[in-house]
């Protein structure tokens, strides 16, 4: 029995016990989790029907899609959209340099191209089988992407493990958006930061605007200051530049 060559080890998501590997399973005193192509599966059974539907539909979608995987297309078309949507410039991506990063809901892995290559260690989880496709997609960009099939609300890591937690349009696909965020933040180190975005829910009186701004996002930047959590809602993406300048001074 042994452990994987990674700084942040997986633990049993139910008991937080240490897991050892025999190459085919991760094993604790109470549980075992299968490993396929180096990727452990912590979600063999999904009881919530909504989550099961998400698991199946997105697993099929991202396993069959090449979205964001063509280098030229990503650099020319997709990356500029991501950066503009988040209110960032190319130079702002340096904030992820040499960080231990967890991406929650990795999907196709297209967003991972923004922060994964410069990470000290990059971890990605997804509830769906898309992680197996992502493994191939990311290996040419990230030297050792550490992936697992896992539930956001039962992440296989000890609390306060990561410098950065990121998530791209995922939390609102869970049964309880706030709970998913809360459980993800538990894995963030004191002094670390989390960046995520979710689809904006408009007030009923804004229905006309909704038809125009179909994919407008509400972006949040969360920063941890000691034991105090500061939640800063960013209503328009252009505010992100000011927040990132502040972030550089804090970390």
User: If you search the block for the tokens 């410098």, which residue do you land on?
Assistant: 163
**Higher local confidence (pLDDT), 36 or 215:** 36
Q: What 8-state DSSP symbol labels residue 177?
A: H
Q: Which two tokens stand for residue 245?
A: 């300048």
**Higher local confidence (pLDDT), 67 or 86:** 86
For the stretch 59-74, pLDDT in tens is 444 455 565 567 788 8
Give the length of the chain.
251
Contact 21, 14 (CB under 8 A): no
For the stretch 10-41, pLDDT in tens is 999 999 999 998 889 999 888 999 998 889 99
Give the model's pLDDT for residue 231: 41
Task: With a cut of 60, say whether residue 107 has pLDDT above it.
Answer: yes
Model confidence, pTM: 0.74
Contact 86, 237 (CB under 8 A): yes
Band (pLDDT 50/70/90 cuts) for residue 50 is: low
Task: With a cut of 50, say whether residue 44 has pLDDT above it.
Answer: yes
Report residue 57 CA to chain centroid gap.
18
Task: With a cut of 90, say whether residue 123 has pLDDT above it.
Answer: yes
| CATH entry 3.40.50.150 includes domain 47-250 | yes
Q: Which residues contact 178 (CB under 8 A, 6 or more apart)?
A: none
Band (pLDDT 50/70/90 cuts) for residue 176 is: confident
């Amino acid at each position: 029995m042994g452990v994987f060559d990674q700084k942040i080890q997986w633990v049993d998501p139910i008991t937080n016990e240490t897991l050892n590997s025999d190459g085919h399973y991760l094993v604790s005193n109470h549980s075992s989790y299968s490993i396929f192509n180096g990727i452990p599966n912590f979600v063999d059974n999904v009881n919530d029907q909504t989550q099961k539907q998400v698991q199946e539909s997105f697993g099929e979608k991202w396993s069959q899609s090449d979205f964001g995987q063509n280098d030229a297309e990503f650099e020319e078309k997709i990356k500029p959209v991501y950066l503009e949507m988040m209110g960032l410039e190319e130079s702002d991506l340096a904030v992820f340099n040499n960080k231990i990063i967890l991406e929650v809901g990795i999907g196709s892995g297209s967003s991972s191209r923004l922060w994964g290559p410069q990470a000290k260690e990059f971890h990605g989880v997804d509830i769906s089988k898309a992680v197996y496709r992502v493994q191939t997609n990311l290996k040419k960009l990230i030297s050792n992407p550490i992936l697992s099939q896992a539930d956001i609300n039962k992440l296989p890591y000890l609390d306060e493990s990561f410098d950065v937690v990121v998530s791209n349009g995922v939390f609102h696909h869970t049964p309880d958006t706030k709970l998913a965020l809360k459980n993800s933040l538990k894995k963030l180190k004191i002094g670390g930061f989390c960046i995520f975005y979710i689809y904006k829910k408009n007030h009923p009186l804004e229905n006309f605007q909704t038809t125009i701004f179909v994919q407008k996002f509400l972006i949040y930047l969360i920063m941890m200051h000691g034991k105090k959590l500061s939640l800063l809602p960013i209503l328009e993406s252009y505010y992100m530049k000011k927040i990132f300048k502040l972030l550089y001074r804090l970390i």
